[in-house]
Amino acid sequence: MEILVGIICGLALSLFFGFGPAFFGLIQNSINYGFRKGVAFEVGVNSSDILIVSLMLTLLKNVEMTSIVRNPYVAVIGGSAVIALGVMSLLRKPARREGTKLVFDKVPRGRELAVQGFALNLFNPTVWLYWISLVTFLSAEMGLTAGERWAFFISLLLTELGVGILKCRLASLLQKVMSDSLMRLISRGVGAVLIGVGVFLIVSMIVYRSHPELQKPESSEGAAQLIQRFHNTITHDSNARRGDTLYLK
């Protein structure tokens, strides 16, 4: 049951909540360097999610992480890392076409893109808040056992990885139909977005620290509510079918 809920929630969360800095980096690398390079970046992003969730379920399960992640110093470090990746994107030399092929002065290795995706996701404080909210919700509201929580998150994360690989494939197909100028525009646009997100992370965390009453609810709260809705629906349907079976017997 938890595996099915995890798969459904992984699909839903990827569609409704999967548009952060990592998404823009994924699209950029897939368009610029192709499907395999995009997958390498996605594997790095997904690996950091696995690390965060594993820490939340084991070593940090009794630690109040929210106040730590909301610390302005953490926000400055995370926001600065996102800004640095945005600057790198802006400074990266654009591709040029030779016939039907794109040629780059330097193509990053897959492991380099994996490390970049891992760092971009890991140093984003909102990603930590997102997973902290979901893990806390599962522990407090849904009453799952330790084994059920692991089954849920493993299926959720694997589903998100699959959706991410599909995004890589779709983005890489755009490479064949885009003009050089449009690809350069997208690359610079992604860099500008990353810089903007980094600045926003720093400013928003500092504002929250000074005026917590101004802070809006986290998007992760909506994600938690979505998970609860799916879980309740599937559990209700399962119980109803079980009841019908018992009645027929």
What's the confidence (pLDDT) of residue 202?
A: 83
What's the confidence (pLDDT) of residue 243?
A: 47
What's the confidence (pLDDT) of residue 211?
A: 59
- Taking only the tens place, the pLDDT of each residue in 104-160 is 667 788 899 999 999 889 988 888 888 888 888 776 666 677 888 888 899 999 999
- What sign does the CA torsion over 19, 186, 124, 107 have? positive
Say if residue 51's pLDDT is above 60: yes
Helix, strand or coil, per DSSP, at residue 52: helix
Q: Which of 3, 6, 89 is nearest to 41 (CA)?
A: 89
Q: What is the mean pLDDT of residues 39-52?
A: 94
- Taking only the tens place, the pLDDT of each residue in 193-228 is 889 888 888 887 777 666 555 555 454 555 555 565
Say if residue 165's pLDDT is above 90: yes
Q: What is the mean pLDDT of residues 68-78?
A: 79
Strands (E), the chain: 96-98, 101-103
Say if residue 103's pLDDT is above 60: yes
CB of 116 within 8 A of CB of 69?
no
Q: Report how far residue 183's alpha carbon sits from residue 221's, in angstroms, rounded to the nearest whole number.
A: 35
Computed over every residue of the chain, the mean pLDDT equals: 77
Q: Report how far residue 2's alpha carbon sits from residue 22's, in angstroms, rounded to the nearest whole number.
A: 27
* Total tally of structural domains belonging to the chain: 1
What's the confidence (pLDDT) of residue 81?
A: 85
> Is the model more confident about 23 or about 107?
23
- What sign does the CA torsion over 23, 123, 88, 162 have? negative
Give φ, ψ of 96 to 5 degrees. Answer: -130, 150
Say if residue 63's pLDDT is above 80: no
Give φ, ψ of 98 to 5 degrees. Answer: -125, 95
CB of 134 within 8 A of CB of 52?
no
CB of 163 within 8 A of CB of 23?
no
Helix, strand or coil, per DSSP, at residue 92: coil
Q: Report how far residue 14's alpha carbon sits from residue 50's, in angstroms, rounded to the nearest whole number.
A: 15
Close Cβ partners of 6 (under 8 Å, ≥ 6 residues apart) = 151, 152, 153, 154, 155, 156, 159
What's the confidence (pLDDT) of residue 174?
A: 81
- Look up tokens 């395999």; give the residue: 36
Amino acid at 238: S
What's the confidence (pLDDT) of residue 168?
A: 92
**In this structure, what DSSP letter does residue 143 have?**
-
Q: Residue 22 to residues 55, 118, 243: CA-CA distances in angstroms?
A: 20, 9, 44
> Is the model more confident about 179 or about 131?
131
Which structural domain, as residue segments, surrounds residue 34? 2-248
What's the confidence (pLDDT) of residue 171?
A: 87
CA angle 57/58/61 to nearest 5° reads: 65
What's the confidence (pLDDT) of residue 115?
A: 93
What's the confidence (pLDDT) of residue 96?
A: 62
Q: Which of 220, 180, 29 is nearest to 108 (CA)?
A: 29
What's the confidence (pLDDT) of residue 99?
A: 59
